[in-house]
Amino acid sequence: MIRERLIFEISDKGKNGFRFPKLDVPENKSLNDRIPMRDSIKDFPQVSEVEVVRHFTRLSQTNYCVDKGIYPLGSCTMKYNPKINERIAQIENFITSHPFADPEMSQGNLEVLKTLEDVLREVTGMDAFTFQPAAGAQGELVGMMLIRACMEERGDPRKFVLIPDSAHGTNPSSAHICGYKVKEIKSNDSGTIDLDDLSNNMDKDVAAIMITNPNTLGVFENQIKEASEIVHSKGGLVYMDGANMNALMGICRPGDMGVDAIHLNLHKTFSTPHGGGGPGAGPVGVKKILEPYLPVPRVKNKDDQYFIDEDCPKSIGRVHSFYGNFLVAVKALAYILSLGPEGLREVSETAVLNSNYIRKSLEKEYHLKYKTPTLHECVFSDKYQKQYGVSNIDIAKRLIDLGVHPPTMSFPLIVHGALMTEPTETESKADLDSFIEAMKQIAEEAREDSGILKSAPHNSYVRRLDETAAARNPKLRWEP
Site for other proteins in 430-449 (CB under 8 A): 431
Q: Does 319 participate in binding other proteins (rule CB under 8 A)?
A: yes
- Cα angle value 165/167/170 (rounded, 5°): 130
Is 416 or 440 the residue whose CB approaches other proteins more closely?
416
Rg of the chain's alpha carbons, rounded to an integer? 25
Site for other proteins in 25-64 (CB under 8 A): 25-28, 31, 34-38, 40-47, 49, 52-53, 55-57, 59-64
Member of 96, 155, 303, 313 binding other proteins (CB under 8 A)? 96
The span of 93-101, 196-204, 233-241, 285-293 binding other proteins (CB under 8 A) equals: 93-101
Site for other proteins in 282-311 (CB under 8 A): 295
Residue 105: CB minimum distance to other proteins, A:
4
Q: Does 480 participate in binding other proteins (rule CB under 8 A)?
A: no
Q: Does 220 participate in binding other proteins (rule CB under 8 A)?
A: yes
Is 219 or 443 the residue whose CB approaches other proteins more closely?
219
Site for other proteins in 452-471 (CB under 8 A): 457, 460-471
The residue among 372, 379, 363, 362 whose CA lies nearest residue 415 is 379
Q: Report helix, strand or coil for 332.
A: helix
The span of 90-98, 200-208, 283-291, 442-450 binding other proteins (CB under 8 A) equals: 90-98
Member of 153, 256, 444, 449 binding other proteins (CB under 8 A)? 256
Other beta carbons within 10 angstroms of residue 402's beta carbon come to 16
Site for other proteins in 367-386 (CB under 8 A): 372-373, 375
Q: Does 389 participate in binding other proteins (rule CB under 8 A)?
A: no
Member of 24, 155, 302, 313 binding other proteins (CB under 8 A)? 24
Q: How far is residue 401's CA from residue 32's CA, in Å, rounded to a whole number?
A: 57
Site for other proteins in 115-174 (CB under 8 A): 119, 122-123, 134-138, 140-141, 145, 148, 168-170, 172-174
Member of 273, 283, 285, 423 binding other proteins (CB under 8 A)? 273
Q: Which residues of 187-201 are buried (b: 16+ CB within 10 A; e: fewer)?
A: beebbbbbbebbeeb
CA terminus-to-terminus distance, the chain = 24
Residue 414: CB minimum distance to other proteins, A:
12
Q: How far is residue 113's CA from residue 105's CA, in Å, rounded to a whole number?
A: 15
Please tell me what DSSP assigns to residue 159: S
CB 446 within 8 A of CB 456: no
> 367-368 and 378-381: which strand pairing?
antiparallel
Site for other proteins in 106-125 (CB under 8 A): 106-109, 111-112, 119, 122-123
- Burial zone of 39 (CB within 10 Å; 0-12 exposed, 13-18 middle, 19+ buried): exposed
> Which residues is 298 bridged to in the sheet?
309
Member of 338, 364, 437, 449 binding other proteins (CB under 8 A)? 338
CB 401 within 8 A of CB 153: no
